[in-house]
């Protein structure tokens, strides 16, 4: 199935896309929204907040559009630790080498 444009609920599309972010990379709330063809940045954050229940979904890899860490249900310390475990360095609340490790979703087809 394709989470872009699909008839799934908004939150399922968000979670599906999030699950595709590779280890050691990050994406952003804005990028997820863009991949789905919407500007619902805040709703993307809400969907991730409501659904961290699935350890299957690496929601710690979704950060703010400006390279800041962004939110996390269990706190920014935990989010930073999970990222560090994958080789992503967070210093002073910012993702190091942000542009370099930023993962963007293919815009059309796959």
- Is residue 25 a contact residue for DNA (CB under 7 A)? no
According to DSSP, the β-strands at 90-91 and 94-95 are: antiparallel
The verdict on 60 binding DNA (CB under 7 A) reads: yes
Q: Residue 104: exposed, middle, or buried by beta-carbon count in 10 A (0-12, 13-18, 19+)?
A: exposed
Q: Does position 49 bind DNA by CB under 7 A?
A: yes
Shortest reach from residue 88's CB to DNA, in Å: 14
CB atoms under 10 Å from CB of 76, counted, come to 14
* Of the residues 16, 19, 25, 41, which one makes contact with DNA according to CB under 7 A: 41
From the CB of 12, what's the least distance to DNA, in Å?
7
Instruction: Tell how many helices (H) and how many strands (E) occur in the chain.
Output: 5, 4
Is 54 or 89 the residue whose CB approaches DNA more closely? 54
Residue 26 dihedral angles phi and psi, to the nearest 5°:
-130, 160
Instruction: Point out the catalytic residue in the list 48, 59, 63, 95.
Output: 59
Q: Which residues bind DNA (CB under 7 A)?
A: 9-11, 28-30, 38-50, 52, 59-60, 62, 64-66, 70-73
């Amino acid at each position: 199935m394709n989470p872009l444009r699909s008839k799934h609920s908004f939150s399922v599309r968000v979670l599906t896309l999030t699950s595709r972010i590779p280890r050691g990379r990050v994406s952003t709330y804005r990028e997820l929204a863009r991949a789905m063809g919407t500007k619902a940045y805040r709703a993307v954050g809400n969907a991730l907040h409501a659904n961290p229940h699935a350890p299957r979904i690496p929601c710690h890899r979704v950060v703010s559009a400006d390279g800041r860490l962004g939110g996390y249900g269990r706190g920014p310390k935990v989010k930073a630790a999970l990222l560090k475990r994958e080789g992503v360095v967070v210093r002073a609340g910012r993702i190091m080498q942000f542009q370099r490790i930023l993962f963007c979703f293919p815009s059309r087809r796959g």
